[in-house]
């Protein structure tokens, strides 16, 4: 493939990905009626090189499960995920080790993401050691990674322990660890949700800056549309393991099409006392994932539901700049 067509080709292709698992214990399994939870249910999308995509939705919508499938931390139970022309399901041994270097995770809670008994130097040395980087090069790589995430004058931090750093400083260390092996792709799972509001903007700015400077392909997982808007050019909205809407973030924010996306947009607080922005009435929380509604999984909360919604699963179809899974956009509607 030529360099130009390689640059244009998607880095990641997801086709009908599924992550289904049985719950209910051994007895239910023996009786053959253990319920199945469809954490990810037949999802398809592609991500271009250098693109930043937000996976957005309430807790339990499957966004973290999708992130884990992309990193091969979970094995898909159906469909396929292809990274740079290689199916993740086929990666083993050396190929899997190489993928682990190219695809990294930035964790939600920095205090859970590091060993409290390791100094910052040891925390950042470990991935270099595992990747076979000579000991003589490690200190320089660690300093460069900490400078990249804008931890000013990093040397004094190297012999400190995680509890001696603030949440914002430690999240930068976690970012540095994810970036130290120069990956092509990162998944950031709610990376600022555990941080104090006053330091979130600083960490998000570092994330955006590093992503742009390194040309990283990034997935940003969040329940917060305002944060996704700040860091992602494109947004995929998920609900109960399926995609509801996929398109340019600004189009989604200014003119949401799917009734669920409309509710999420309406729920974003507007920082002005004269503007009222009441959430759309979408009723109770998401239904029990062991027993989702027939047809459209959003229908028992949807203010626009009609008879077809209970009978037929809406297909994700192109609508202008976007893709939407809703019968309101069926051609014969
Ligand atoms: Fe609402 Fe029906 Fe569209 Fe689902 S398919 S979002 S229930 S209108």
Cβ-Cβ contacts under 8 Å for 117 (sequence gap 6 or more)? 161
Mean pLDDT of the chain: 90
Does residue 309 have its Cβ closer than 6 Å to ligand 1? yes
Q: What's the 328 CA to ligand 1 centre distance in angstroms?
A: 7
Q: Which residue has the higher pLDDT, 35 or 50?
A: 50
HSE, side-chain direction, 13 A CA sphere, residue 53: 26
Q: For residues 182 and 113, what is the distance between their CA atoms, to the nearest angstrom?
A: 19
Does residue 172 have its Cβ closer than 6 Å to ligand 1? no
pLDDT value at 29 more than 70: no
Does residue 204 have its Cβ closer than 6 Å to ligand 1? no
Confidence grade of residue 62 (pLDDT, cut at 50, 70, 90): very high
> How confident is the model at residue 31, as a pLDDT?
72
> How confident is the model at residue 258, as a pLDDT?
97
CB-based contact 316:44 (threshold 8 Å): yes
Counting from 1 in the atom list of ligand 1, the atom nearest the Cα of 258 is: 6
Strand partners, 96: none
| CA dihedral angle for residue 248, residue 254, residue 256, residue 257, rounded to 10 degrees | -90
| CA dihedral angle for residue 197, residue 166, residue 208, residue 85, rounded to 10 degrees | -120
pLDDT value at 286 more than 90: no
Q: What's the 308 CA to ligand 1 centre distance in angstroms?
A: 9
In the sheet with 52-56, reading across from the earlier edge strand, the strands are 103-106, 185-189, 217-222, 52-56, 234-239, 242-248, 322-324, 317-319
CB-based contact 117:173 (threshold 8 Å): no
Cβ-Cβ contacts under 8 Å for 12 (sequence gap 6 or more)? 46, 47, 70, 81, 82, 83, 185, 217
> How confident is the model at residue 257, as a pLDDT?
97
> How confident is the model at residue 198, as a pLDDT?
80
Q: What share of the chain is helix, strand, coil (3-state, %, to 5)?
A: 40, 20, 40
Confidence grade of residue 34 (pLDDT, cut at 50, 70, 90): confident
Does residue 237 have its Cβ closer than 6 Å to ligand 1? no
Q: What's the 254 CA to ligand 1 centre distance in angstroms?
A: 20
- Give pTM, 2 decimals: 0.91
Q: Of 231, 228, 215, 131, which is closest to residue 177 (Cα–Cα)?
A: 131
pLDDT value at 27 more than 90: no
Which of 327, 329, 330, 331 to mutate for ligand 1's pocket (most ligand atoms within 8 Å of CB)?
Answer: 327
CB-based contact 227:192 (threshold 8 Å): yes
Per residue in 119-131, pLDDT (tens digit) is 999 999 999 999 9
- Residue carrying structure tokens 């040891």: 122
Which of 259, 287, 306, 317 to mutate for ligand 1's pocket (most ligand atoms within 8 Å of CB)?
Answer: 259
Does residue 314 have its Cβ closer than 6 Å to ligand 1? yes
């Amino acid at each position: 493939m030529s360099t130009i067509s390689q640059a244009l080709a998607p880095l990641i292709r997801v086709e009908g990905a599924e992550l289904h698992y049985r719950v209910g214990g051994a007895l239910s399994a023996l009786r053959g009626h253990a319920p199945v939870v469809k954490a990810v249910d037949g999802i398809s999308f592609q991500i271009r090189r250098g693109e930043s995509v937000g996976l957005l939705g309430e807790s339990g919508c499957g966004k973290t499960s999708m992130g884990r499938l992309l990193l091969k931390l979970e094995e898909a139970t159906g469909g396929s995920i292809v990274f740079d022309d290689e199916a993740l399901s086929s990666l083993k041994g050396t190929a899997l080790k190489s993928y682990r270097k190219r695809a990294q995770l930035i964790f939600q809670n920095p205090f859970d993401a590091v060993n409290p008994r390791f100094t910052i130097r040891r925390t950042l040395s470990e991935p270099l050691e595992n990747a076979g980087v000579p000991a003589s090069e490690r200190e320089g790589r660690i300093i460069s990674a900490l400078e990249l995430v804008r931890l000013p004058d990093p040397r004094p931090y190297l012999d400190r322990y995680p509890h001696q750093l603030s949440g914002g400083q430690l999240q930068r260390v976690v970012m540095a660890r994810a970036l130290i092996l120069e990956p092509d792709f990162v998944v950031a799972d709610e990376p600022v949700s555990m941080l104090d509001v006053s330091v979130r903007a600083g960490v998000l700015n570092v994330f955006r800056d590093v992503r742009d400077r390194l040309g990283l392909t990034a997935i940003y997982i969040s329940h917060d549309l305002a944060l996704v808007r700040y860091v992602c050019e494109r947004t995929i909205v998920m609900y109960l393991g399926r995609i509801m809407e996929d398109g340019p973030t600004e189009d989604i924010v200014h003119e949401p099409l799917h009734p669920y996306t409309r509710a999420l947009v309406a729920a974003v607080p507007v920082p002005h006392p004269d503007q009222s922005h009441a959430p759309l009435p979408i009723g109770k929380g998401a239904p029990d994932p062991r027993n989702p509604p027939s047809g459209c999984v959003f229908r028992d909360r949807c203010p626009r539901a009609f008879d077809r919604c209970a009978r037929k699963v809406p297909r994700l179809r192109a609508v202008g700049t976007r893709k939407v899974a809703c019968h309101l956009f069926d051609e014969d509607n």
